[in-house]
Amino acid sequence: MTPAAFFSGYVTIIGRPNVGKSTFMNHILGTKISITTAKPQTTRDRILGIWNDPDTQIVFLDTPGIHASDKALNRYMLDKAVSTISDADIALVMADHLDTPETLLQVAGFVQKARKESFLVLNKVDLMSESVACERLERLGRVYDFTYQCTISSTLGTGIDDLMAQIRKRLPEGPRYFPEDMITDSPMRFICKELIREKVFTLLQKEIPYAVAVEIEEYREEAPVLIRAAIHVEKDSQKRILIGSGGRMLKEIGTQARRDIEDLVGERIFLELFVKVTRDWSKNPKSLKDLGYK
Ligand SMILES: Nc1nc2c(ncn2[C@@H]2O[C@H](COP(=O)(O)OP(=O)(O)OP(=O)(O)O)[C@@H](O)[C@H]2O)c(=O)[nH]1
Ligand SMILES: [Mg+2]
């Protein structure tokens, strides 16, 4: 008897910052493996999410939002996003209600260069009337020769089953790249530092989230799990804001991050946070590497 065919492939999700790429991937996987916030430029690395069923494996690549900036960190982020395109079987070009043909072209241009099969996915359709969504999709769809285009809502789940069916239809026959019970290749240490960074993004404003990098200095796995993490900022003034009056802000970051990490590891943990000033780390390629952006 010949074995049943197996289909697999890589699907990258690219788009402007904040269009909902990470929310979409978390929705598909049914679990939060990529942090999401209301602020742009939340995701800084390529985050891999693996979707399985008995005859298919889809490896999604969540990526940093595509935007132009000269800062070393932003160049790193752009490179992480763009480099996923050549590995992908399909590129999902994601847009939201703020995209115009001009902004979309900046993203689609990278797909065009790589000559990749590409879908246009207009997210946040819950924020638009049906007629506006149709008109927008039609206008954005003229930017590139997309093989498929659709509207979805990643928060409500609208349109996602149809999109998944279209992806599956176009996957080549191929191997199971990752074990069936694996959902991501991100180590627990990485997910923990991202969850801490997510709380900084949510609780602090202006330039602070963009001046923060989190480093796990100790991760003791034996119970009780102990995690010691340094939150790096670029200036003394940022350190003062991050700690907050009477240490209240740092405590709140710790409380919220600890809850999320406990949900993830399924047991009580001890989380120790402290703040370090690493001057201009986001502009300095060596500091970037030291802080895990390599
Ligand atoms: N109303 C609505 N909001 C959404 C939807 N999808 C995502 N969002 C919100 O949009 C914001 C950005 O979502 P993210 O998933 O972090 O966006 P992203 O594209 O990963 O952003 P970067 O990592 O910064 O590039 C969050 O506040 C989400 O809750 C949607 O379908 N509808
Ligand atoms: Mg993201």
Rounded Cα distance between 272 and 281, Å, is 22
Which residue among 16, 21, 26, 36 is best mutated to probe the pocket of ligand 1, counting the most ligand atoms within 8 A of its Cβ? 36
Q: Which tokens hold the place of 173?
A: 């026959």
Domains of the chain: 7-169 (3.40.50.300), 188-290 (3.30.300.20)
For ligand 1, is residue 154 a contact (CB within 6 Å)? yes
What is the 3 state secondary structure string of 45-84?
Answer: CCEEEEEEECCEEEEEEECCCCCCCCCHHHHHHHHHHHHH
Residue 4 pLDDT class (50, 70, 90 cuts): confident
SS3 assignment, position 146: coil
Residue 1 pLDDT class (50, 70, 90 cuts): low
Ligand at minimal distance from the CA of 26 is: 1
For ligand 1, is residue 44 a contact (CB within 6 Å)? no
pLDDT of residue 66: 98
Residue 197 pLDDT class (50, 70, 90 cuts): very high
**Is a pLDDT exceeding 80 seen at residue 3?**
no
Pairing of strands 213-220, 225-233: antiparallel
Q: Which residue blocks in the chain are alpha helix, DSSP H?
A: 21-29, 72-87, 101-114, 130-141, 160-169, 188-203, 236-243, 248-265, 285-290
In this prediction, residues 225-231 reach a mean pLDDT of: 97
Ligand 1 atom at minimum distance from 154 CA: 31
Determine whether 144 is exposed, middle or buried from the number of CB atoms within 10 Å of its CB (0-12, 13-18, 19+): buried
Q: How far is the CA of 129 from the centre of ligand 2 (A)?
A: 25
- CA of residue 278 relative to chain centroid, distance: 25
Ligand at minimal distance from the CA of 25 is: 1
